[in-house]
Amino acid sequence: MHARYRREISHSCASWRFRSDIFHGSSTIRRLPTSFPQTIVEVAPLLRDKKISPIELTRTCLGKIEKLNPALNAFITVTADSALAQARAAEDEIAHGNWRGPLHGVPIALKDLIDTAGVRTTAGSALFKDRVPTEDAEIVRRLKQAGAVILGKNNLHEFAYGGSSLVSHFGDVHNPWNIAHIAGGSSGGSAAAVAASLCYAAIGTDTAGSIREPAALCGCVGLKPTAHAGFYVSYYVVFLIFLGTLCAATVKPLWMLATRWMRQDGRQ
């Protein structure tokens, strides 16, 4: 590990311990009780068979975000109105036999490095705190085609250029298992949101561990896919970066998400 990076993490962790007393009660954020399954593998067939409602599923996730995000700071922007509109559309389509696949009606989140039309995309930086893209990144377009419900944009290490997620204009990201610990980075908000069951999956990015490290620190599963054709992420992403996924518990949901944007030429 580079010496400068070690100093950053060491300094951040030392200062974190002194700030942990801003939270009241237990330093551990426990998953809220829910009557819904906890993974995409479990919830997708229930949505397909109309045994649970995408609207109620989305409302449950939004309720968790409202309760836990003030402590975790996993989300920069929550798109509650559009998420509920997407959930209503999914419920109507499924009710009429137009099930699009295992992501249809499933609430997910996006790292705030990924452009979303009409929704600010900040990269965790003051430079772009009010930037609103005019078009979706390709991955967002494909997820919308799959019928996924997008809950909002996850906090991150500024410009995805660090491994702690303590350097963000919007504040530190907190590890849901123990708020005295870092969530890792740069996709720290994505990992924290998944680990706390605020969403069923999240999209992150990874160049040198930015999905894999926070997944390990937050106790979820993260995937940096094999290199494939590059997709538009955001106009300020000018270096080699890989889109990837974070999910709870098992590897199978990662495959479900990854297949939404992998190459269509048959390459695995």
How high is the pLDDT of residue 118?
A: 98
Q: Which residues contact 155 (CB under 8 A, 6 or more apart)?
A: 73, 74, 75, 76, 112, 124, 165, 168, 170, 171, 173, 188, 189
Whether residue 135 contacts residue 151, with contact meaning beta carbons closer than 8 Å, is answered with: no
Question: What pLDDT band is residue 228 in, cutting at 50, 70 and 90?
Answer: low
Question: What pLDDT band is residue 199 in, cutting at 50, 70 and 90?
Answer: very high
pLDDT of 34 > 70? The answer is no
β partners of residue 149: 107
Inter-helix orientation angle 54-72/188-195, to 10° = 120
How high is the pLDDT of residue 22?
A: 33
Q: Which residues contact 99 (CB under 8 A, 6 or more apart)?
A: 47, 48, 93
Single pTM value for the model: 0.81
Q: Percentage of residues in the chain with pLDDT exceeding 90?
A: 65
How high is the pLDDT of residue 18?
A: 28
How high is the pLDDT of residue 223?
A: 84
- The sheet carrying 149-154 orders its strands as 75-78, 149-154, 107-111, 201-206, 242-247, 221-223
Question: Structural domains in the chain?
Answer: 36-258 (3.90.1300.10)
Question: What pLDDT band is residue 227 in, cutting at 50, 70 and 90?
Answer: low
Q: Identify the helix (H) or strand (E) that includes residue 83.
A: helix 80-95
Q: Which two tokens stand for residue 185?
A: 């980075």
What mean pLDDT, rounded, does the chain reach?
82
pLDDT digits (tens, 9 = 90+) for 112-165: 999 999 999 999 999 999 999 999 998 899 999 999 999 999 999 999 999 999
Question: What pLDDT band is residue 253 in, cutting at 50, 70 and 90?
Answer: low
138 versus 172: the higher-pLDDT residue is: 172
Helices and strands (H and E) in the chain: how many: 8, 6
Whether residue 142 contacts residue 173, with contact meaning beta carbons closer than 8 Å, is answered with: no
pLDDT of 254 > 60? The answer is no
Whether residue 119 contacts residue 112, with contact meaning beta carbons closer than 8 Å, is answered with: no
How high is the pLDDT of residue 212?
A: 93
The string of DSSP letters for 126-175 reads: GGGTT---SS--HHHHHHHHTT-EEEEEE--SGGG--SSS---TT---B-
Lowest mean per-residue pLDDT among 25-34, 42-51, 65-74, 101-110: 25-34
Instruction: Name the nearest CA neighbour of 158 among 191, 185, 133.
Output: 185
**From residue 214, how far is each of 42, 204, 245 by CA, in Å?**
24, 10, 12
pLDDT digits (tens, 9 = 90+) for 37-93: 888 889 999 999 999 999 999 999 999 999 999 999 999 999 999 999 999 999 999
Question: What pLDDT band is residue 258 in, cutting at 50, 70 and 90?
Answer: low
Give CA–CA dist 44/40, Å, rounded: 6
Q: Which two tokens stand for residue 174?
A: 């907190």
How high is the pLDDT of residue 217?
A: 97
Q: Which residues are catalytic?
A: 111, 186, 210
How high is the pLDDT of residue 207?
A: 86
pLDDT of 259 > 70? The answer is no
Q: Which residues contact 85 (CB under 8 A, 6 or more apart)?
A: none
Give CA–CA dist 127/4, Å, rounded: 24
pLDDT of 33 > 90? The answer is no
Give CA–CA dist 197/164, Å, rounded: 21
